[in-house]
Chains A and B, each alone.
Chain A
Amino acid sequence: MNRMLLVEDDEFACSALRELFEENGWQVVVAENGIEAMRHMTQISFEVIVTDVFMPEMDGVELVRQIRLTDKTQKILAISGGGAGMGSDKAVDIIEAIGADAALQKPLRNEELLLAVDRLTAA
Chain B
Amino acid sequence: MKANGTGLRVNHLRKTFRGGSVVACEDVNLEIDDGELLVMLGPSGCGKTTTLRCIAGLEHPDNDDAVWIHGHNMTRIPPKDRNLAFVFQETAMFPNLSVRRNISFGLDMRKQVARTDIDRRVEDAARMLRIEDLLDRRPHELSGGQGQRVALGRAIVTEPSAFLLDEPLAALDAALRVEMRTEIKLIQRKLDCTMLFVTHDQEEALTIGDKIAVMHEGVVQQVDTPHNVYHRPANLFVGTFIGLPPINRFACELQRNGAGLELGAAHFTLPLATEQAARLERSPARRLTLGVRPELMEIGPDGAIPGTVRLVEMMGSRTLVLVETESEDIRVLVQGEPAVREGERVGLTPDLTRAFYFDERGQNLLT
Are A and B associated in one complex? no
